[in-house]
Amino acid sequence: MYKRILLKLSGESLMGEQQYGIDENRLNEYAAQIDEISKLGVQIGIVIGGGNIFRGLKGTERGFDRVKGDQMGMLATVINSLALQSAIESRGVKCKVLTAIRMEPIAEFFSKHRAIEALESGNVVIFSGGTGCPYFTTDTGSALRGIEIEADVMFKGTRVDGIYDSDPEKNSNAKKFDTITYDEIYSKGLKIMDLTATALCKENRLPIVVFNMDTAGNLKKVVLGENIGTKVTN
């Protein structure tokens, strides 16, 4: 069983059956899975995207300045983080939100010491605001925070059950990988995360497990080391 994890969730996944915003049912399903592994004693850090509210790159396509668009995206991740914190706390689990940009009293400003102290005190810790800088995705923010908190693994929760050689939603013959190396991801041109995030994980030897977070119970299975999803290693 992993002792300390970094869980990356996409903002889009929070939409559930909706076209925009936060689906309360999906939010509570995620909180239940997080509660389940918290009871096992796992230290849990979380990064969640903001694409269900605003995505910086799409804002740029609509005429927004790239820096302003990315800053709007960072604020969207804070909204999602506060929603997830509320859902987790409603289950009696201690949860703290740390931001990459100062915005007290909404949440505390991130530092490695503050994050690890909170994790070791039994808090689920949600890292919001990405890296705090434009031009970086929340995937890169996840890799960075995972390395900083010295996580054993990064779990990337998606709506598919692992990494395939092509899009399984478009190609019924797509082949799934049980394990794959970072070098193979580069050579095959697979779009798992952006290149900056992938390079950070590779250079710092942080393994990734890509799995379907939308199936109840899957988070507990990957934490316990069951062979679901796809594991990426050096």
Over the stretch 134-170, which tens digit does the pLDDT of each residue have? 999 999 999 999 999 999 999 999 988 999 998 888 8
Yes or no: domain 4-233 corresponds to CATH 3.40.1160.10? yes
- Report helix, strand or coil for 68: helix
How many residues appear in the chain? 234
Backbone angles phi, psi at 173, to 5 degrees: -100, 10
What tens digit of pLDDT does each residue of 74-91 get?
A: 999 999 999 999 999 999
Alpha helix stretches (DSSP H) within 51-194: 56-61, 66-89, 112-120, 138-148, 182-188
pTM of the model: 0.95
